[in-house]
């Protein structure tokens, strides 16, 4: 018994001595732990793989749907090298978007687009505005203000970037070879005052015989108003950025059939809490004859148009 007590005493003394040595080590600086701040902690802000599936092709329209988890961010480089960023994801993805633009060699964003005031679309935009020279900013004229849109406006004003709020029918200039058409919202139509998705900005971008439709999070109601007030031909596109991350609030069968896209890109986070993309939407896209490409499965998705057809490249190729 006495022997056991002595053993325990020796063990305790040993532990105390080890603890004292570690304390001295820390105090003298001989031992240090890695220090993580919010900005350099390994997190979703750091890309896990090279994010650029393929560099922009000169003389083509290059479009990148950046993997920003549950959100939207797309970079467009025109055939002559003009740049556009449509949305930029949540604030935690600011680094990723910034690095992505830098990797592409973008120093100036000629046209910055904020489709609506939700954080998964414009949360990181103040950081982007601070980091890049920006030619101009457009957003929907039907927007419902939020803390995020106020922060974007402040950042734009600080840098003297002109802001334009646009309706369907307004002309947006970017590159002579690429036409931009605002297809939603429609002036004079009634949109929800509570749901910013309803009045969000929808764009069609055309190059040669090819076209892309950027729907942001537009609702079925917005799709219907837009189709009622515009020519059917305006919706035809090779590539559709599927609305609202594949939610059933969007992508009516009539809209998908009118767009008649070959490729449907879903910008969506892996295992997101909303269950996006919805199974119904995936089967609707399938029935509409679209090949579906998802950022949660493929990472960043790139599309290249030579004016006649569109080719697709992924960050994570199919095996
Ligand atoms: Zn969204």
Q: Are 220 and 249 in contact (CB under 8 A)?
A: yes
In angstroms, the Cα distances linking 147 to 34, 151, 283 are 35, 6, 36
Q: Is residue 130 part of a domain?
A: yes
Q: State how many domains the chain has.
A: 1
For residue 11, is pLDDT > 90? no
Distance 248 CA to ligand 1 centre (A): 13
Q: Is residue 10 part of a domain?
A: no
Q: Is residue 39 part of a domain?
A: no
Distance 70 CA to ligand 1 centre (A): 7
Distance 65 CA to ligand 1 centre (A): 14
pLDDT band at 7 (very low <50, low <70, confident <90, very high): low
Residue-range definition of the domain harbouring residue 109: 61-314
Q: Is residue 160 part of a domain?
A: yes
Q: Is residue 170 part of a domain?
A: yes
Predicted pLDDT at 243: 97
Q: Are 198 and 188 in contact (CB under 8 A)?
A: no
pLDDT digits (tens, 9 = 90+) for 130-170: 999 999 999 999 989 999 999 999 999 999 999 999 999 99
Which residues have beta carbons under 5 A from ligand 1 (an ion)? 120, 217
Q: What is the mean pLDDT of the chain?
A: 88
pLDDT digits (tens, 9 = 90+) for 200-243: 999 999 999 999 999 999 999 999 999 999 999 999 999 999 99
Q: Is residue 22 part of a domain?
A: no
pLDDT digits (tens, 9 = 90+) for 97-107: 999 999 999 99
Q: Are 172 and 166 in contact (CB under 8 A)?
A: yes
Q: Is residue 37 part of a domain?
A: no
Distance 181 CA to ligand 1 centre (A): 21
Q: Is the pTM here over 0.75, yes or no?
A: yes
Predicted pLDDT at 315: 84
Q: Is residue 119 part of a domain?
A: yes
Per-residue burial over 141-158, b = 16 or more CB atoms within 10 Å of its CB, e = otherwise: bbbbeeebbebbbebbee
Residues 6 or more apart in contact with residue 41 via CB below 8 angstroms: none
Instruction: Estimate to the nearest angstrom the gap between the alpha carbon of 238 and the chain centroid.
Output: 20
pLDDT digits (tens, 9 = 90+) for 38-66: 333 334 445 445 578 899 999 999 999 99
Distance 247 CA to ligand 1 centre (A): 10
The CATH number given to whatever domain includes residue 248 is 3.60.15.10
Mean pLDDT of 89-117: 96
């Amino acid at each position: 018994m006495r022997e056991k007590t002595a053993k325990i005493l020796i063990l305790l003394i040993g532990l105390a001595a080890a603890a004292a040595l570690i304390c001295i080590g820390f105090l003298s600086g001989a031992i240090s732990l890695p220090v993580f701040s919010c900005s350099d902690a390994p997190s979703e802000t750091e890309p896990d793989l090279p994010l650029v599936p393929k560099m922009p092709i000169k003389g083509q329209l290059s479009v990148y749907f950046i993997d920003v988890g549950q959100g939207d961010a797309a970079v467009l480089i025109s055939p002559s090298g003009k740049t556009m960023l449509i949305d930029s994801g949540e604030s935690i993805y600011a680094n990723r978007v910034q690095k992505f633009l830098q990797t592409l060699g973008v120093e100036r964003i000629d046209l910055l687009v904020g489709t609506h005031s939700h954080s998964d679309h414009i949360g990181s935009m103040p950081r982007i505005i601070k980091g890049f020279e920006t030619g101009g900013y457009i957003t929907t004229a039907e927007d419902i203000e939020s803390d995020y849109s106020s922060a974007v406006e402040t950042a734009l004003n600080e840098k003297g970037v002109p802001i334009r709020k646009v309706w369907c029918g307004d002309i947006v200039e970017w590159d002579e070879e690429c036409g931009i058409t605002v297809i939603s919202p429609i002036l004079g139509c009634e949109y929800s005052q509570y749901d910013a998705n309803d009045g969000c900005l929808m764009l069609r971008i055309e190059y040669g015989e090819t076209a892309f439709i950027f729907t942001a999070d537009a609702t079925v109601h917005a799709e219907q108003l837009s189709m009622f007030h515009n020519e059917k031909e305006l919706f035809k596109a090779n590539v559709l950025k599927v609305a609202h991350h594949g939610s059933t609030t969007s992508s009516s069968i009539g809209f998908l059939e009118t767009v008649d896209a070959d490729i449907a890109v879903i910008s969506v986070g892996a295992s997101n809490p909303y269950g996006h993309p919805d199974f119904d939407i995936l089967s609707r896209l399938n029935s509409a004859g679209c090949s579906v490409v998802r950022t949660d499965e493929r990472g960043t998705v790139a599309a290249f148009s030579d004016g006649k057809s569109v080719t697709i490249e992924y960050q994570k190729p199919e095996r």
